[in-house]
Every structure is written in structure tokens, then in C-alpha cells.
Amino acid sequence: MVEATRPTPLAEAQAFRMKVRRGEHARHTAGQAPGMVQGNVAIMTADDAADFLRFCLRNPKSCPLIGMSEPGDPRLPELGDIDIRTDVPAYRVFEHGELVAEPTDLSNWWRKDLVAFVLGCSLSFDEALQDAGLRLRHVELDREVPMYRTSIETAPAGPFRGPMVVSMRPFLPKDAIRAIEVTSRHPRMHGAPVHFGDPGAIGIADLARPDYGQPTVVEPGEVPVFWACGVTPQAVVAASRPALCITHKPGHMLVTDRRIGDFAAF
């Protein structure tokens, strides 16, 4: 009997990215290239980039920076053979805070003064939680994770300021403890949670009405656990209304050549 050989996770990531580059995959990236890091993308002019870099460094739980390009250079060699103009399935272009286009490549938008930032993403840490044997309600319900604006203020830098956005996963206390242990090993994918229990303590009025994503179910005996979320920088950048800003379309992430373990603090 001949067994089918499965490609390595790295080979899967590279093959998937080539499909995206050729325009053959413009959908979301959940479940693609398991074991490999996926990233949030934010692209802005060099003028804004210095402030945004400082914003990331001051808010590492919301904005865990894993890669940054040189001005005008679309490559990100530390994350793989990447061309940020073509390797994300879908983009969103904002001018002065208004959404003006949703292209699938940036050939018409790239400029010599643009800088690309890649931030760790909770798709990767959901995978780490599942590898630890934890069940994720939003995955089992086949929904997006619910996300909420909070009363926790980010540390501002230049024009960038605003509330922290968090994602919520319900767990029994013993599983919440395990989830805290696991995610504390992944500081570049938002790390340990910022809160658990009473939503009102961080300014969330109603768990059933998330600001982003879809509501989930908190069963009796479970507590909601809240992690800083990559939507934070997107919301903060949008609110600062820069002349130009380009992000990935939510759920349509950059698949990198880095393993989840590469960024873990074991």
C-alpha cells in the first residue's frame, strides 16, 4: 500500500501564497497552512509609519509586531519570500479614513513611500489552543470570534490612539487557566488575556452584541476570557484618518513562512 505523502507545513504555506499571488485564492485564510503564522497587515506612508511603529511598541498585546518592510520595498524577507502587493487574498484601501477600494492586489496602489507592517494574529493562537486540547466555541459553532471595544485605552503615539478591542472565548475556569498558560507562551500573538469574568469591568455592556465578529454562547459555569485583538490597530488607524492606509480584508490574512513555534516563548 502506498501512503500519500503530505507536504511540509512550510511547503504548504509557500504553495498557498503562490496561489494567492497568481490571483487563484481571494477568500479568507482560516485553516490554510496549519502550523504556520498568519499575520494582520497595515500599510501606510513613511510619514505615519514612525508613529505607528511607536504605537505598536507601546501596545505589544494589541499590536504584536512580527515584520516591517523598508519604505517602498514590498518584500518582508524575515517572514518568507513575500511580496506584500500580491500575497494577501484581499485588501482594504482607506483614504482619510474612508474605505475607497477592496482590491485583490495592490499594483494600482503601491507607492515608493509605503511601509508595510505585519502583526501577529489570533488565528495562530486559536491553533495553539486547539493543539493543547482546548475546544473553541466559536470554531465549533463555525462563527467568527466575537470582538468588543473596551474602556481600556491604548497608549497613544502621534495621531494613533483609541480603545483596545478584545476578542472573547468562553471557558470553564480550569480550561481558562490552561488557555492562559498556553497563550502566555505566544507573546507575539497577543499573549495572555487582559481580563476574564465581568464584561462591565472593561466597559462591555452586552456580550450578546459584539462590535465585530459574531456573538457566541457562554454556558453555565463558564467565564468569558478576553484577549487583546488585532482589530485594535485597524480601528485606531481608521480613527486617525491618515491620507492613505491599506489593510488586509478581515479574515484574509498574510500566510507567512514562519512556524507558530518560531515566535513562542517556551
Query: In sequence order, what DSSP letters do the residues of the chain get, joined into one string?
Result: -PPPPPPPHHHHHHHHHHHHHTTS--S--TTSSTTEEEEEEEEEEHHHHHHHHHHHHH-TTT--EEEEPPTT--B-GGGSS-BTTTSSS-EEEEETTEEEE--SS-TTT--TTEEEEEEE-HHHHHHHHHHTT---HHHHTT-PPPEEEEEEEPPPBTTB--EEEEEEEEE-HHHHHHHHHHHHT-GGGT-S-SEES-GGGGT---TTS-SBS------TT-EEEEEE-THHHHHHHHHH--S-EEEEPTT-PEEEEEEGGGG---
CB nearer to its own copies: pick between 18 and 180: 180
Q: CB of residue 131 vs its own copies: minimum separation in angstroms?
A: 17
CB nearer to its own copies: pick between 170 and 242: 170
CB nearer to its own copies: pick between 80 and 224: 224
Which amino acid appears at position 53 of this protein? L
CB nearer to its own copies: pick between 77 and 197: 197
Does position 61 interact with its own copies (CB under 8 A)? The reply is: no
The contacts of residue 208 (CB under 8 Å, 6+ apart) are: 215
Q: Contact region for its own copies (CB under 8 A) — 99-107, 192-200, 210-218, 231-239?
A: 192-200
Q: Which three cell numbers stand for residue 157?
A: 503615539
Q: CB of residue 248 vs its own copies: minimum separation in angstroms?
A: 29
Q: What is the pattern of x (binds its own copies, CB under 8 A) and - over residues 139-178?
A: ----------------------------------xx-xxx
Length of the chain: 266
Does position 237 interact with its own copies (CB under 8 A)? The reply is: no
Report CA-CA distances (Å) from 198 to 29, 163, 203, 220: 32, 18, 9, 14
Q: CB of residue 86 vs its own copies: minimum separation in angstroms?
A: 39
Q: CB of residue 171 vs its own copies: minimum separation in angstroms?
A: 11
Does position 193 interact with its own copies (CB under 8 A)? The reply is: yes
CB nearer to its own copies: pick between 102 and 181: 181
CB nearer to its own copies: pick between 80 and 199: 199
Does position 228 interact with its own copies (CB under 8 A)? The reply is: no
CB nearer to its own copies: pick between 154 and 247: 154
Does position 22 interact with its own copies (CB under 8 A)? The reply is: no
Q: CB of residue 197 vs its own copies: minimum separation in angstroms?
A: 5
Does position 31 interact with its own copies (CB under 8 A)? The reply is: no
Does position 229 interact with its own copies (CB under 8 A)? The reply is: no
Residue numbers at the binding site for its own copies (CB under 8 A): 173-174, 176-178, 180-181, 184, 192-198, 201, 221, 223
